[in-house]
Chain A
Amino acid sequence: MSIGAKAKAGSNGTSPQAVANKGKENVGLKVIIYIVCIILAILSIMPFVIMIVNSTRSTNEIQAHAVSLIPSKYFFNNLKILVSKSFDPKVGFLNSLIVSVGSTALAIYFSTLTAYGIVIYDWRFKHAAFRFIMAVMMIPAQLTSIGFYQMVYKIHMTNHLSMLILPAIANSSMVFFMRQYMVGALPFELVQAARIDGAGEFFIFNKIALPIMKPAIATQAIFAYVGSWNNLFTPMILLTDQKKYTLPIMVSLLRGDIYRTEFGSIYLGLTMTALPLIIVYLILSKYIIAGVALGSVKG
């Protein structure tokens, strides 16, 4: 405020001529801006359009002309070839769904619970606990994967999807986000009032705190879900049984030799994994974009 006031006091105003010139400049610049934005938009969309169109074209058609905007009629043919080999979209979808839903639910519930424990109660180590959570927030799990793999191997739990779900209970960056949001959104008086009415602590958390946290939960749920759905590294080291493959590992099979010349099927496999995400994204885009922005302000 003070900077603005000072700057205002020192201004002399602008001549009308300068303003007119600026107007013309702006039109030129505006055209450039639109051109750049449209080029970038095409760059973002084109790869997916080519992918979707090619998933309906035969390998011969693709080899003759790989870029086309006109769909062909080989969709089911491609599908037949695709599923006749190791790529099994149903299994991939189901496993990814189990892992993503399970880990998102756990991460949401326990992160909010931990944040609540830190925000609402005064206990001896609460500041230390929060500092610890902030400190470990940025450590990527990939770098401790060898110890994790050895541990899971020792207890004979490789190929168990639970090993991809349970670690979500300790999601430090989500605890951090939930804590930041809770400090502003959950009035302590509300908790006190509920206590006076005789509500138990878990009841207060489940019936009062969780509903108030809904906006933060929605944002975090989307990102946790997408992150889990897209995760490749951990499933890749743990899962060796094809029946347990998640979608990203399933996708990596498309890169293998068995599909080498089946271009239409490769594009179809890619489309099957990307299109559902694109559709869901377009439906939820408003919330997702807002969520990205919110994350930066809070974090």
Chain B
Amino acid sequence: MKKSKFTGYAKWGYIFCIPFFLAYAIFQLYPTLYTIVIGFTDLKGVATTDFHFLKNPFENYAFIIGNSLFRKAFGNTVKMWVCNFIPQLSLALLLTAWFTDRRFKIKGEGFFKVVFYMPNIITAATVAILFSSLFGFPMGPMNDLLTRLGFLQEPYNFLVKKTASQNIVIFIQTWMWYGYTMIILISGVLGISTEIFEAAEVDGANGWQTFWLITIPNIKTILLFTLVTSLIGGLNMFDIPQLFVFGGGPDNATMTTNIFIYNQAFKGSYQYNKASAASMIMFVIIVVLSAILFYMLRDKDEAALERIKKQEARNRKIREKEEKQRAVNG
């Protein structure tokens, strides 16, 4: 309806959207294409910008895929994400179940939310160095605490042990993100119609049943959203492992793909070409994952649109009926 009346204003749509697309082209699209190109060239060395295409265009890709350190970094990244996401989601779900259950009426819910979310707002660089200080050897606060309480006979050097440093990175990630996930899940649960919960209560469903049979199915979309965004963030893990222990940690135990890319491109022999190939491999993985999210969100939008259309059609029918009736009565 609006369309026919206001076609004269169409040019303003273009004008208002041009800055975005111009900036996108310069700062995102061009760098993306440039990264793809560099991946097929011999571009390396500090302060180099000239390059030649390789005879075998996939040489860099072959190098990266065959590189044991990249594979290890990829394995670490996935492992550290999985091991942080499972406890993070479990904890968030548990807290969500408790905070949204009307039978408990937890006091100080607002306070707990604020405190649980706080680590997320602090600069990750600061958090990483804070934790490396807390786990310092021989007299970091953690060692001080554990020896004083008798858990440890003598100070333990966490930062040079493979498993310990990896687990601490996982812990920091969980610690930073469970509050965020919890708030999102709570808002999802609050969006569910209260009548469903009332009905379940009347039916005598216990908390466990209500949670699994009503809450979880109703926040499926939000759970999927959390999963995909967390996965994309997790595959880009950089700040915490980079600054918690330098250079990928003991025996590269905390080396992630992004640290690998950073080290390839901006350290040592400045191998921009190989780093680009590694970036593009990760890029493809993430594009596939975001495509999943894209379709998920689009479906939701279209479903909503269809509902509105149906509602409108119904309203129109009702109106027509009323008018007919009025005509008959009149």
A297 contact from B191, B200, B280, Cβ within 8 A: B191
Chain B hits for A24, CB < 8 A: none
Chain B hits for A233, CB < 8 A: 238-239, 258, 262
B62 within 8 A of A: no
CB <8 Å contact, B283 and A150:
no
CB <8 Å contact, B121 and A277:
yes
Chain B hits for A76, CB < 8 A: none
B79 within 8 A of A: no
- Check A139/B126 contact, CB under 8 A, given A40-B116, A144-B31, A147-B38: no
A270 within 8 A of B: yes
Cα–Cα distance between A122 and B12 once the two chains are bound (Å): 9
A84 within 8 A of B: no
A70 within 8 A of B: no
B175 within 8 A of A: yes
B134 within 8 A of A: yes
Closest chain B residue to A123 by CB distance? B13
The number of residue pairs between A and B whose CB atoms lie closer than 8 Å in the complex comes to: 342
Chain A hits for B14, CB < 8 A: 117, 123
Smallest beta-carbon distance A268→chain B, Å? 11
Q: Which of B193-207 contact A (CB under 8 A)?
A: 193, 195-196, 198-200, 202-204
Chain A 109-133 near chain B by CB (<8 Å), digits 1 or 0: 0110110111011111010010101
Closest chain B residue to A109 by CB distance? B19
Chain A hits for B115, CB < 8 A: 40-41, 44-45
Chain A hits for B20, CB < 8 A: 110-111, 113-114, 133, 169-170, 175
Chain B hits for A111, CB < 8 A: 20
CB <8 Å contact, A277 and B123:
yes
CB <8 Å contact, A140 and B236:
yes
CB <8 Å contact, B28 and A141:
yes
CB <8 Å contact, B125 and A41:
no
Q: Which of B74-121 contact A (CB under 8 A)?
A: 91, 95, 98, 103-104, 106, 108, 110-119, 121
Number of chain A interface residues as a range: 35 or more
Main secondary structure of the interface of A (DSSP, over half): helix
CB <8 Å contact, B35 and A147:
yes
Cα–Cα distance between A166 and B20 once the two chains are bound (Å): 11
B15 within 8 A of A: yes
B27 contact from A11, A170, A288, A295, Cβ within 8 A: A170
Smallest beta-carbon distance B28→chain A, Å? 6
Closest chain A residue to B103 by CB distance? A26
A81 within 8 A of B: no
Chain B hits for A205, CB < 8 A: 16
Cα–Cα distance between A249 and B125 once the two chains are bound (Å): 8
B122 within 8 A of A: yes
Smallest beta-carbon distance A293→chain B, Å? 3
Cα–Cα distance between A233 and B233 once the two chains are bound (Å): 13
Chain A hits for B98, CB < 8 A: 33
Most chain B C-beta atoms within 10 Å of own C-beta, residue among A5, A142, A149, A296 = A296
CB <8 Å contact, B272 and A8:
no
Chain A hits for B126, CB < 8 A: 248, 251, 270, 273-274
B63 within 8 A of A: no
A67 contact from B23, B103, B141, B188, Cβ within 8 A: B141
Q: Which of A131-158 contact B (CB under 8 A)?
A: 131, 133-151, 153-154
A226-B121, A248-B123 are known; give 11 further A-B pairs, CB within 8 A.
A37-B108, A66-B140, A110-B20, A113-B16, A120-B9, A140-B286, A142-B236, A151-B30, A151-B31, A270-B130, A292-B187
Using CB atoms and an 8 Å cutoff, list the residues of chain A in contact with chain B: 1, 3-5, 7-8, 10-14, 18, 22, 26, 29-30, 33-34, 37, 40-41, 43-45, 47-48, 50-51, 54, 62-67, 110-111, 113-114, 116-118, 120-124, 126, 129, 131, 133-151, 153-154, 166-167, 169-170, 172, 175, 188, 201, 205, 226, 229-230, 232-233, 236-237, 247-249, 251-252, 254-255, 263, 266-267, 270, 273-274, 277-278, 281-282, 285, 288-289, 292-297, 299
10 tightest A-B CB contacts, nearest first: A117-B16, A121-B13, A147-B34, A293-B187, A138-B290, A147-B35, A4-B195, A7-B199, A169-B23, A123-B13
Provide a sorted-by-A list of 14 A–B residue pairs whose CB atoms are within 8 angstroms: A11-B204, A33-B106, A66-B140, A133-B20, A138-B228, A138-B290, A144-B279, A144-B283, A150-B38, A172-B24, A252-B125, A254-B129, A277-B123, A288-B121
Using CB atoms and an 8 Å cutoff, list the residues of chain B in contact with chain A: 2-3, 6-7, 9-17, 19-24, 27-28, 30-38, 43, 47, 49, 91, 95, 98, 103-104, 106, 108, 110-119, 121-126, 129-134, 136, 139-141, 143-145, 148, 175, 179-180, 183-184, 186-188, 191, 193, 195-196, 198-200, 202-204, 222, 225, 228-229, 232, 236, 238-239, 242-243, 246, 258, 261-262, 265-266, 272, 275-276, 279-280, 282-283, 286-287, 289-291, 293-294, 297-298
